[in-house]
Structure 1
Amino acid sequence: MSDNNESKGKDSWPELVGVEGKVAAVTIEKENPSVNAIILLEGTAVTDDFRLDRVRVWVDTYGIVIEVPKIG
């Protein structure tokens, strides 16, 4: 990863689908300290910008991760 536009560390967490959102966010930030995990309820409106320092953690109304969290 020599390009400055690339993230350092892990960039997706498929193993966290089905996990409680708060647990997932802590895991993500532990495994890649250069990102901020943001928990969002499914259907929440978000911007289309791509950021290497952000991971959106999409959860259902029970707080369970419903989509693979990934950098973006």
Structure 2
Amino acid sequence: MSSECPGKNSWPELVGTNGDYAASVIERENSKVNAIVILDGTPVITDFRCDRVWVRVNRNRTVVKVPKAG
């Protein structure tokens, strides 16, 4: 589904980085998205949206999953 979204929509290179840093990179590389940092395992709304990227972090604020538009 992510391929339907305009611009860059997946950031595997950000896994292992700081979540706030990752969010700033994502929003800089695709100005059409809002990157939202959340603790991994937090329940989220599941509707698909090209303008939203969940940045899932652990308790140390390190990105633990590939951020993707949706």
Compare CA radii of gyration and give the structure with the larger one. Answer: 1
TM-score, normalization: structure 1?
Answer: 0.90
- Equivalenced residue count is 67
The answer to whether residue 29 in structure 2 is matched with residue 31 in structure 1 is yes
Displacement of 1:7 after TM fit? 2.0
TM-score, normalization: structure 2?
Answer: 0.92
**Aligned counterpart in structure 1 of residue 52 of structure 2, from 54, 64, 70:** 54
The runs of 5 or more residues in structure 2 that have no matched partner are none
Q: Quick one: which amino acid aligns to residue 67 of structure 2? A: P
Identity %: 57
Q: Quick one: which amino acid aligns to residue 18 of structure 2? A: E
Deviations 1:11-66, CA, capped at 9 Å, x for gaps: 10000000000000000000000000000001101111000100000000000000
Larger helix share, 1 or 2: 2
The runs of 5 or more residues in structure 1 that have no matched partner are 1-5
* Mapping for residues 4-23 of structure 1, pairs under 5 Å: 6-23=4-21
Say what the alpha-carbon RMSD is for the aligned residues: 0.6
